[in-house]
Amino acid sequence: MKLKCVIVDDEPLALTILEGYLKKIPYIEVLAKFESAIPVYEFLQKTEVDLLFLDIEMPNLSGVDFIRSLPTHPSVIFTTANKNYAIEGFNLNIDDYLLKPLTFERLLVAINRIAEKFAKKEDIEYQEGNTEFLYLKENKKMVKVYFDDLLYLESNKDYVKVVTSCKTVITKQQLSFFETKLNTKDFLRIHRSFIIAIKKIDAFSHSSIDIGKTELPIGRSYKDSVFEVLSKLSNQDILDPE
């Protein structure tokens, strides 16, 4: 996820320096920059913005007054040479307050804090619609895998390769462990080495199932149960050719 941001500062040099810093951060996208806060209001009405870098002491409309005029506002980082506005920023629920001249290190701390906030929010929103997940151990880390993202699982001796729509996790586990965790309405064991997500089936034949570009074999001892499910999916009888 990239944070979409806007820079507002009446000093062209300050705009250039801040934009240069932000371009070094891969998860930041600068949508626009302004030398006055007045046109920003209209921009925010038309464009989704995650983060606003806002100078305080500007002609016509100060950064503080601009924030006060908004019914709601994105995350805001004040950038100013005047430290006397810190309390004001706190009262306006500003995310951070950076004193000029800006340093890249201090800027990065502020942005990482906001990025973490967005990541937690995104995680909560995802879980509200998809509450089932597992933490799987891989290379000394516990990696979260959502059931809705699963494509298939492949057993290889003492390890299982868990393939999802966004990543692959290899964990020391038995396939039988996953059978106890996964809903049988959504997942199907088609082979002693494979469990698949039923909704992710793209094509099938009498001997294999395609998920994306991956062709997975149907095991002889699993054919009856697999054909029963495939028959329901295709609304027609699927017969074992043997």
Contact partners, residue 233, CB within 8 Å, separation at least 6: 198, 201
Q: Provide the CB-side half-sphere exposure for 226 (13 A, CA).
A: 25
Tracing tokens 């965790």 back to the chain, one arrives at 181
Topology annotation, domain 3-128:
Rossmann fold (3.40.50)
- The confidence band for 237, taking pLDDT boundaries of 50, 70 and 90, is low
Residue-wise pLDDT tens digits, 133-186: 888 999 888 999 989 899 999 999 899 999 999 999 999 999 999 988 888 889
Residue-wise pLDDT tens digits, 88-129: 766 788 899 999 999 999 999 999 989 888 877 665 554 555
CA distance 228 to 237: 8
- The confidence band for 241, taking pLDDT boundaries of 50, 70 and 90, is very low
Contact of 95 with 113, CB cutoff 8 Å: yes
Residue 84 is predicted with a pLDDT of 79
Q: What number is the average pLDDT over the span 49-69?
A: 92
Structure tokens at 137: 């151990």
Tracing tokens 């305080």 back to the chain, one arrives at 56
Query: What CATH code would you report for 133-234?
Result: 2.40.50.1020
Percentage of the chain beyond pLDDT 90 is 61
Which of 152, 192, 156, 188 is CA-nearest to residue 168?
Answer: 152
- The confidence band for 36, taking pLDDT boundaries of 50, 70 and 90, is very high
Dihedral angle sign, alpha carbons of residues 94, 98, 103, 105:
negative
Domain boundaries, given as residue ranges, for the chain: 3-128, 133-234
Supply angle C-alpha 26, 17, 55, rounded to 5: 100
CA distance 215 to 205: 10
Straight-line distance from the first to the last Cα atom of the chain, in angstroms, rounded to the nearest whole number: 50
Contact of 50 with 61, CB cutoff 8 Å: no
pTM: 0.52
